[in-house]
Amino acid sequence: MDHDIDQLAINTIRTLSIDAIQKASSGHPGTPMALAPVAYTLWQRFLRFDPADPIWPGRDRFVLSAGHASMLLYSLLHLAGVRAVDHDYEVVGEEAVSLKDIESFRQLDSRAPGHPEYRWTSGVETTTGPLGQGIATSVGMAIAGKWQGARYNRPGFDLFDFDVYAIAGDGCLMEGVSSEAASIAGHLKLDNLCWIYDNNHITIDGKTHLAYDDDVAARFMGYGWNVTRVGDANDTDLIATAFEEFRGEEGRPTLLIVDSHIGWGSPHKMDTSAAHGEPLGEEEVRETKRAYDWPENAQFLVPDGVREHFAAGIGERGGGLRAGWRRLLDEYSEKHTDLALEIELQQKRALPAGWDSAIPSFDPDEKGIATRKASQQVENAIGERLPWLLAGSADLTDSTSVRLTFDGAHDLEPGAYDGRQLHYGIREHEAAAISNGLSLSKLRPLWSTYLTFSDYARPAIRLSALMELPVIHVFTHDSIGLGEDGPTHQPVEHLASLRAIPGLDVIRPADANEVAEAWRVALDRTHQPVALVLTRQNVPVLDRSRYGSAEGLRRGGYVLADAEGGDPEIILIATGSEVALALAAHEELKGESVRARVVSMPCCELFDRQDPDYRDEVLPPAVTARVSVEEASTLGWDRYVGTDGVKIGMHTFGTSAPLKDVQTKFGFTGDRVAEAAKELLA
């Protein structure tokens, strides 16, 4: 092997990828083979990244949006010697990806799973796999970098000036979320963002012309991007020139189009098995290695000098940059103490002292207030004391009541990157994905839309749960009570479908004081997202001197009103606006000497995590007569009402009519709840 050391390193990335995929009998070898020169040049010559400390805040971010090419990233992590940093998932200080992990690619407990997973493998900046998610999330990272720079940088102290690089394929650019994300990135003039487009003309079905003839360059120029091209993915000098051009660009994000072939470097140039996500096969592996002037029978070979070469490149450069950043932060801390404390708290996902001190409490009010309106009051009380809370909406800022109104809470726009209010446009999927990117950068984002449109954002909502990110997803207009807008806007199945996502707490408060507690729960966590589900219509503010304290929300479900004169005969369980109906039924039943208990169940997930004694205290097993009330699908309520209980809910879509008419048509009245209870007892 007489290649120069750069080519030797590139071919090591390629052959590690080939061998891992071949051994696993599963995976996509084509893109790692084709883009190895691009990724190598970026990491070895440009990326500001320290393998010994892969989470230092000043680092550049590298996102492999084409997550099926995961072996490209794992090979880089291994050869660069990236160290593990997460106490909860890894052995700190060990290799983030060992050669053993690569040899067990896609196998149980390997740090080299099929697609890159945040937290599971240090050096992975975000979980990718669903195409388009990585590049959309990278926009959030770039916005975060701009915001942090605008808030914290001072003359002589450029603490936050990192760049964000993301590798995308044809699949990423076909997915609609890429258009949403690219459009807002161009609008915001994110010149710290570089997408690397692997233009190889192949998808799983075959040639891209089967379904895709976009002029990608023209498309992105229309978005306001700088577009540059490298005609040969093997030309490392031209690749380096393109990255230099990106670094010099001002006022525009950059799309670097790299022309490649799947399986580039193999004898057949266009290898069909690589294109279709299959191992090359033993004979093709041998032929490919011969083409690389590689020992054809060697497996998982890392030649002498390759690791040392990475250590002398990205290792020394990254280590020096990180050490310089730490020294700069120390000096900064002496001159800008308060801001340095903010940075420290932010990076630890901690909250400043007194962050919740101004959260209002709400007096009893029969006419009440919409929970979305109460939420806006609480959000502003928190936001004024939590400087890195950013709020945004999919073109529904006032309708979903997420507008920040305190001094300094201006819009985040080009030239005003320190703004706290984001405008995502009518782009729900991008809004959720960008929020993930903001959270990955340690900011505290919330975004909003109507509950029925949560479907448009579901992949990114799911990923916030999978990555354990404390994103707050705010959904308003939460039931058939929406009225005249009709069934297209009346969510029916959405609560059940969101509750089905592991790791996502879905909180539907009954009144303004439950809203206040919901925000305390949502902010006081570091590893879990929340879906906060709120009403458009007014709901009564309950008299807590008569009923249970709203602090019960912290346990998911609690006794709101209890039976008088003995143990309850029947339990009424409700969420959100329907809690008022359950209370009305409770009063009616009490007048007829029926002992009823009302349980407010704002968050099933929180309740299910309580100890069994508490759950049995709230829902005594001996009381089998139970009624659930929710203006949504009844799916999932069996576990609370049992086989003998009654579920008052939706079994069809809604209808267009005024609020009261819709509720009466579908049986959502206090009288109907009381009637159902009496029928059950009878």
d(CA 90, CA 86): 5
Q: Which of 561, 566, 598, 570 is nearest to 676 (CA)?
A: 570
Q: How far apart are CA 14 and CA 206, in angstroms?
A: 23
Tell me the β-bridge partners of 449: 475
Query: How far is the C-alpha of 134 from the C-alpha of 195, rounded, in Å?
Result: 10
CB 61 within 8 Å of CB 141? yes
Cβ(487)–Cβ(438) under 8 Å? no
Q: What is the DSSP string of 71-85?
A: HHHHHHHHHTTPBP-
Residue 297 per-residue DSSP state: T
The alpha carbon torsion through 621, 627, 631, 633 (nearest 10 deg) reads 60
Report how far apart, in Å, the C-alpha atoms of 469 and of each of 428, 436, 530, 599 are: 18, 7, 9, 30
C-beta of residue 127 within 8 angstroms of C-beta of residue 139: no
Side chain identity, residue 203: T
- Residue 446: phi, psi to the nearest 5? -135, 145
Task: Label the pairing between strands 389-393 and 444-450.
Answer: parallel
CB atoms under 10 Å from CB of 427, counted, come to 23
Distance CA 130, CA 65 (A): 8
Q: Quick one: which H or E segment has residue 391?
A: strand 389-393
| Distance from C-alpha of 69 to C-alpha of 233, rounded to nearest angstrom | 16
CB distance 477 to 410 below 8 Å: no
Report how far residue 139's alpha carbon sits from residue 194's, in angstroms, rounded to the nearest whole number. 10
Work out whether strand 254-259 and strand 193-199 pair parallel, antiparallel, or are unpaired. parallel
Rounded distance between C-alpha atoms, residue 40 and residue 180, angstroms: 29
The set of residues, in sequence order, having a beta carbon less than 8 Å from that of 458 and lying 6+ positions away, is 497
**Whole-Å CA distances, 504 to 33, 160, 180, 459, 497:** 37, 31, 24, 13, 11
Q: How many residues does the chain have?
A: 682
- d(C-alpha 10, C-alpha 99), whole Å: 17
Q: How many helices (H) and strands (E) does the chain have?
A: 25, 20
Eight-state DSSP code of residue 52: T
List Cβ neighbours of 143 (8 Å cut-off, separation of 6 or more). 188, 190, 412, 417, 422, 434, 437, 438
Pairing, β 193-199 against β 202-203:
unpaired
Nearest Cα to Cα of residue 531 among 598, 425, 455: 455
Q: Which residues, other chains included, contact 167 with Cβ-Cβ below 8 Å and sequence gap of 6+?
A: 35, 38, 39, 63, 64, 65, 66, 69, 72, 134, 195, 196, 198
Residues contacting 519, CB < 8 A, separation 6+:
356, 359, 375, 378, 379, 382, 532
- Cα–Cα distance between 542 and 363 in angstroms, integer? 8
**The pairing of beta strand 646-650 with beta strand 472-476:** unpaired
DSSP 8-state assignment for residue 390: E
- Please indicate whether residue 428 is annotated as part of the active site: yes
The one catalytic residue among 175, 428, 514, 517 = 428
List residues with catalytic annotation: 428
